[in-house]
């Protein structure tokens, strides 16, 4: 398959104001971590500079309307293309069906048989360089992680403010719930992040193929088929005893309004800028941060290095992940200072890159590129983790009338009692990411997409390829390197369960012909061994986390303490998904926004303490 490399560039809405030379706080990156944090610091009265490498597309329907998420993720107006590896074995990665190549003719080739002379790019992992970050191009799923995913920080650091019970207050703080009656104590109704659900009334129509599949899935997972039409409206973000061990249908929650408008950090930033209170927030767009600056006096032996600002390069499309980047293009370089702190919120790929370019990371790697070592922190860029994702895709004999079926369940071999699969089934196609995704297989396509929760392997890394801040890092997820047999077994078990529901659709939708993981229409062709090999080679992901992980004082690979402070330096924090010690649940977007609200509270508490001392 061929896809054009470049398309027309839409104009960005200019909301930036001229940057001063110094602020109380500088926040680098406007995604789910940094965007809300910058707004909250400014609303507390502190002069705050928010730096974003992209522009503002808040008024662009491609981003503002949540239904356009596929177009948003493909849009070269904001897309950054990272070409990642899934393993240390190049031959294995070349079996990934959506491997992408540059033809040299202004097009991409996606597949296993590239034209002669094509340049290997790798496996696409798109990120969003835009005000609001990846929350502006995702599908907007808002789902809470298991309690243990929060409590692990308590266990590592002793900081009880990370307990799942306490973390819930941050959802309540940011949420503007539009799908439950006011008064539910587990939710918020006055925050900046709208949450909503779809109309699932279709499930009451017993004549639909999708309803018959729903009832079959209920039976397969120990639920009452006669109650399935009501269970599909269950709150996926409920609280209660043993919630994380509960197999059930749910209504998928999205961070969008009930009218289908995306709700993201972009809205919170814009509202803060437009507020009559004139909060001291400055947004600097189309600006690439090249490194964090440190006070020279604190770099002397025996002193604790202190961050005092950032160096930036001004201009659009300066980073080489941007498909609009023109080779050799640079921008003017300047320095901006922070009297209190610098907060890096570039995400799981760019936050460790910025730290390393600034001299914070594994000493051997920094020395290799002649970067002066400010602090030897071997965990920077390590511990990269992600959810494994895959799908069961089949073609029906006729279109499958159905709404979206959302199901969380536990497979038989899961090592704990917690559910480990988040699946959503419907008449769509989702097979991963590549330029131009997804493939439309026709009106009879039907998919159960799966996200594997609590993956056992977090063996990936983000490493520099040079000291040039415009270069993309080398990213290797090392899928299934640790406990891979167990994770693969769980994926196969999930596929085997979901497959049983397909033909329950009945005529005219059934029978189905499966396209993957098993290509064919007979059970004899679909062995566990075949499926294991399929998922090992074709699993994909888009929830990268944990490359600047919070950890305990005695952990060699810990990068941050429980207050997001970079260990061994002062005046520097990291607030984004890279801070999670493990992948949080099935979708990290809303958990990262909650993490941001916690970081704001921690930073403001520190500022208050310092004010009292002076």
How far is CA 558 from each of CA 221, 354, 565, rounded to the nearest angstrom? 39, 17, 11
CA-nearest of 173, 172, 201, 167 to 186 is 172
Q: Is 19 annotated as a binding residue?
A: no
CB-CB contact of 227 with 421 (8 Å) = no
Q: Phi/psi of residue 191, each to 5°?
A: -85, -170
Strands 48-51 and 22-28: parallel
- Structure token digits, residue 537: 């080679």
Measure the CA–CA gap between 452 and 433, rounded to whole angstroms.
17
CB-CB contact of 167 with 380 (8 Å) = no
- Radius of gyration (C-alpha) of the chain in whole angstroms: 24
Q: Is 289 annotated as a binding residue?
A: yes
How far is CA 164 from each of CA 113, 153, 167, 549, 586, rounded to the nearest angstrom? 48, 10, 5, 18, 16
Q: Phi/psi of residue 92, each to 5°?
A: -65, -45
Place of tokens 């120990």: 222
Q: Is 130 annotated as a binding residue?
A: yes
CA-nearest of 519, 535, 580 to 432 is 535
Q: Is 189 exposed, middle or buried (0-12, 13-18, 19+ CB in 10 A)?
A: middle
Who contacts 363 (Cβ-Cβ below 8 Å, separation ≥6)?
Answer: 373, 376, 378
Measure the CA–CA gap between 589 and 75, rounded to whole angstroms.
20
- Structure token digits, residue 365: 């790697």
Helices in 26-75 by DSSP H: which ranges? 34-43, 61-64, 69-74
Who contacts 84 (Cβ-Cβ below 8 Å, separation ≥6)?
Answer: 122, 123, 124, 125, 475, 476, 477
* Helix axes of 209-220 and 484-502: crossing angle, nearest 10 degrees: 130
Q: Is 138 annotated as a binding residue?
A: yes
Strands 175-177 and 79-84: unpaired
Number of H helices, E strands in the chain: 14, 25
Of the CA atoms within 13 Å of residue 505, those in its CB half-sphere come to 27
Cis peptide before 511 (omega within 30 of 0): yes
Q: Is 73 annotated as a binding residue?
A: no
3-class state of residue 233 by DSSP? coil
Angle at 352 between CA 348 and CA 355, to 5 degrees: 145
Q: Is 20 annotated as a binding residue?
A: no
CB-CB contact of 64 with 263 (8 Å) = no
Which residues line the annotated binding site for FAD? 130, 138-141, 289
Q: Which residues are annotated as a binding site?
A: 130, 138-141, 289
């Amino acid at each position: 398959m061929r896809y054009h490399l470049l398309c027309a560039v839409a104009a960005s809405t200019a909301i930036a104001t001229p940057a001063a030379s110094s602020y109380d706080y500088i926040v680098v990156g406007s995604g789910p971590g940094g965007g809300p944090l910058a707004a909250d610091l400014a609303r507390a009265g502190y002069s705050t500079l928010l730096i974003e490498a992209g522009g503002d597309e808040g008024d662009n329907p491609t981003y503002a309307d949540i239904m356009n998420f596929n177009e948003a993720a493909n849009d070269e107006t904001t897309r950054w293309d990272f070409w990642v590896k899934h393993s240390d074995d190049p031959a294995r990665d070349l079996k990934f069906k959506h491997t992408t190549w540059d033809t040299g003719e202004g097009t991409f080739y996606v597949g296993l048989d590239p034209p002669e002379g094509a340049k290997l790019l790798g496996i696409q992992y798109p990120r969003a360089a835009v005000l609001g970050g990846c929350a502006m191009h995702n599908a907007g799923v808002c789902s809470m992680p298991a309690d243990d995913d929060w409590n692990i920080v308590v266990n590592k650091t002793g900081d009880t403010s990370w307990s799942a019970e306490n973390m819930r207050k941050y959802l309540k703080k940011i949420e503007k719930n539009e799908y439950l009656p006011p008064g539910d104590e587990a939710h918020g109704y006055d925050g900046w992040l709208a949450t909503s659900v779809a109309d699932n009334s279709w499930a009451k129509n017993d004549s639909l193929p999708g309803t018959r599949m729903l009832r079959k899935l209920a039976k397969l997972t120990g639920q009452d088929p006669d109650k399935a039409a009501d269970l599909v409206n269950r709150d996926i973000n409920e609280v209660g005893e043993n919630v994380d061990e509960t197999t059930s249908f749910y209504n998928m929650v999205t961070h969008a309004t009930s009218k289908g408008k995306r709700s993201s950090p972009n809205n919170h930033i814009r509202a803060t800028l437009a507020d009559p209170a004139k909060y001291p927030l400055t947004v600097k767009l189309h600006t690439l941060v090249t490194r964090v600056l440190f006070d020279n006096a604190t770099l002397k032996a025996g002193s604790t290095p202190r961050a005092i600002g950032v160096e930036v390069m001004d201009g659009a499309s300066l980073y080489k992940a941007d498909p609009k980047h023109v080779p050799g293009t640079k921008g003017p370089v300047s320095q901006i200072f922070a009297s209190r702190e610098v907060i890096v919120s570039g995400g799981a790929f760019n936050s460790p890159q910025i730290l390393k370019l600034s001299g914070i990371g594994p000493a051997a790697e920094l020395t290799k590129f002649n970067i002066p070592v400010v602090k030897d922190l071997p965990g920077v860029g390590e511990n990269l983790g992600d959810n494994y994702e895959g799908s069961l895709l089949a073609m029906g004999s006729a279109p499958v009338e159905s709404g979206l079926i959302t199901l969380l369940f536990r497979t038989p071999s899961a090592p704990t009692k917690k559910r480990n699969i988040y699946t959503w089934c419907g008449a769509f196609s989702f097979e991963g990411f590549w330029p131009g995704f997804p493939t439309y297989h026709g009106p009879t396509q039907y998919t159960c997409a799966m996200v594997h929760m609590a993956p056992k392997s977090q063996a990936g890394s983000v490493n520099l390829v040079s000291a040039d801040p415009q270069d993309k890092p080398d990213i290797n997820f090392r899928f299934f390197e640790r406990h891979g047999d167990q994770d693969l077994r769980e994926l196969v078990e999930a596929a085997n369960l979901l497959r049983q529901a397909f033909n329950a659709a009945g005529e005219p939708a059934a029978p189905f012909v499966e396209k993957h993981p098993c290509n064919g229409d007979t059970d004899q062709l679909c062995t566990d061994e075949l499926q294991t090999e399929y998922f090992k080679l074709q699993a994909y992901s888009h929830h990268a986390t944990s490359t600047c992980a919070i950890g305990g004082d005695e952990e060699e690979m810990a990068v941050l303490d429980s207050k997001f402070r970079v260990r061994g330096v002062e005046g520097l924090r990291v607030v984004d998904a890279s801070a999670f010690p493990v992948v949080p649940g099935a979708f990290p977007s809303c958990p990262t926004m909650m993490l941001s609200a916690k970081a704001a509270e921690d930073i403001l508490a520190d500022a208050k303490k310092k004010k009292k001392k002076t």
